[in-house]
């Protein structure tokens, strides 16, 4: 698995934010937004993404919040749907590596156009996936 490791600043907040996909609270405006991503160089793709994406991370005493903004001028073109496999749909994937190494990581994925979401924990670089792993998490999208 090719993973691009990126350490990001987490903006500490005093109280929870609403998980509604809008990202209009003042704390999101003052967060450290990460942007200007490049594709990992493979035979299939390289260079810049067609659509700009940015994200920021907030945390209060109990919850980690990840806000993602994906620029898509024609949301009607997004692939997805209730019966579509998440891995074939347009989606956002997030890998959290709390140790700073890809040896152990948490993997989250969600599609903005369906209710499908996925979460897993992997160890030994993905060779071990202990079950069950069922975190409490939610996602919201706004267009």
pLDDT < 70 positions in the chain: 1-5, 37-50, 81-84
User: What is the distance between the alpha carbons of residues 107 and 113, in angstroms, rounded to a whole number?
Assistant: 19
pLDDT per position as a tens digit, 57-82 = 999 999 999 999 988 888 788 887 66
Determine the pLDDT at residue 41. 64
**Residue found under tokens 């035979």:** 43
* Residue 107 DSSP SS3: strand
């Amino acid at each position: 698995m090719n993973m691009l490791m990126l350490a990001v600043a987490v903006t500490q907040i005093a109280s929870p934010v609403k998980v509604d996909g809008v990202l209009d609270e003042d704390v999101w405006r003052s967060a450290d937004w990460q942007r200007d991503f490049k594709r990992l160089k493979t035979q299939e793709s390289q260079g810049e993404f067609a659509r700009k994406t940015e994200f920021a991370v907030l945390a209060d005493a109990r919850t980690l919040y990840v806000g993602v903004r994906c620029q898509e001028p024609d949301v009607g073109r997004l692939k997805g749907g209730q019966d579509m496999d998440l891995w074939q749909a347009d989606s956002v994937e997030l890998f959290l590596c709390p140790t700073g190494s890809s040896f152990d990581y948490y993997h989250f994925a969600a599609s903005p156009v369906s209710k499908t979401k996925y979460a897993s924990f992997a160890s030994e670089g993905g060779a071990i996936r202990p079950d069950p792993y069922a975190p409490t998490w939610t996602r919201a999208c706004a267009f």
